[in-house]
Structures are given as C-alpha cells and as structure tokens.
Amino acid sequence: MKGSAMGVYERFVLPRLLALAMRNRELVPFRQRVGLAASGRVLELGVGSGLNLGFYGPDVTSVVGIDPSPALLRMAEARSRGGRVPVELVEAAGERLPLGDRSVDTVVTTWTMCSVGDPAAALREARRVLRPGGALLFVEHGLAPDPGVRWWQDRLTPAWKRVTGGCHLNRNMDDLVLAAGFRVDDLKTGYLPGPKPLTFIYEGRARPG
C-alpha cells in the first residue's frame, strides 16, 4: 500500500481490525486477572477500544486510558459509558505521557508493547508516573524461547508490522521491563492456541526497582 491508500487503511480500516482481533475469547481470562489485580488510579497504556474497562475490580478508583488512535478512543469512549469506574481517555503516545511524576498507582499494558514505536521509552515513562509501591501489570506477546519459532518471528516481523500497525512478533518483554528499571515480582509465559510465532505470551507484575 502507498500514499493515501496507506493513510486510509491506518486511520479507518486498521483500528476496526485490531478491535475485532482483540475480542478473541482466549484473551478474556488475562483481562480478568489484570482487572482484579489493579488498584487505585490506573493508567492503561494502549487502551485501544476499551476491552479491559469492564474488568476493573472494586479496588480501582479511576482509569486514565492512553492511546494514539482517535478511532480506537471513540470505541473506548462508547464502552466506558455507564461504568462504575470514572474513565478519562487521552490521545497520546506512550513514550510521552501527559501525566505527572508518581501520579498513578497501577500501570496496565495488554498487547500494547509489541506496536509501541519505542517500548523502552514507554516503559521508562510508566516507571516515572508510578507512585512508590505501585505496580506494572502486563500481558504481552513476544519473543518465544524455541529457536525454530524465533526464526519465524524474526522473518515474519518486517511484513507483519506493515499490516498490523507496527506490531513486532519478536520483542523480549521481560528484558524490556527489567531494562526500564523495574523488578519483576511474578512472570508466567506460554503459548496460546494458534500459530506459535504469534501466540507466545508474557503475563507478569513488576515494581519500580
């Protein structure tokens, strides 16, 4: 795709495709666990179409949802109406968060860091805005441990990211989290059903180191 065709695809078609893909029922248990583990004022990086909003538990007092896509934010706004938790939606990039230092209790990121332009910068920003004792809760897909799967991830990523809004299949999530100054308290990994290059999952909790 070139020029205006790529612009139309990224602005109108891609957000709807992403919203549809993220409705996969296999992802619901992850959303439930993250929602119940979050507390206080929550920053959700890459809120997308707002699929996590209905899962936040009674310990959450408010949610700030950040996303660079106006189309996805409109979907999230519709999904947030009438919810128990106050939700503020902001169009912004994860690498430059419009929040003060130590201003949130929990940062949530689910299937987001694969497509952030600079995931290291976004995670450093997450650490900056977390209060002392706050938690980063993450569920991400990324680099698999099996050499054969990694081979495919490395070769598929250049074409894959062109049609999926920059999604990388081969980012090592625990290394990125540690490099941003977090300590990982809990980490579970494994494959979801489906093609292995697309489905290796990191689910964890980290705190500022």
Number of Cα atoms under 13 Å in the Cβ half of residue 9: 10
What's the CA gap between 155 and 178, in Å, rounded? 26
| Beta strand residue intervals within 46-148, DSSP E | 60-67, 87-91, 104-110, 130-141
Spatial CA neighbour of 171 closest among 208, 201, 128, 206: 201
Structure tokens at 159: 């074409």
Give mean pLDDT, residues 107-120: 96
pLDDT band at 150 (very low <50, low <70, confident <90, very high): very high
pTM of the model: 0.92
What's the CA gap between 74 and 72, in Å, rounded? 5
Q: Tell me: pLDDT of 6 over 50.
A: no
What's the CA gap between 15 and 10, in Å, rounded? 7
pLDDT band at 185 (very low <50, low <70, confident <90, very high): very high
Rounded to whole angstroms, what are the CA distances from 59 to 56, 72, 85, 90?
A: 8, 26, 10, 22
Spatial CA neighbour of 37 closest among 125, 110, 108, 127: 108
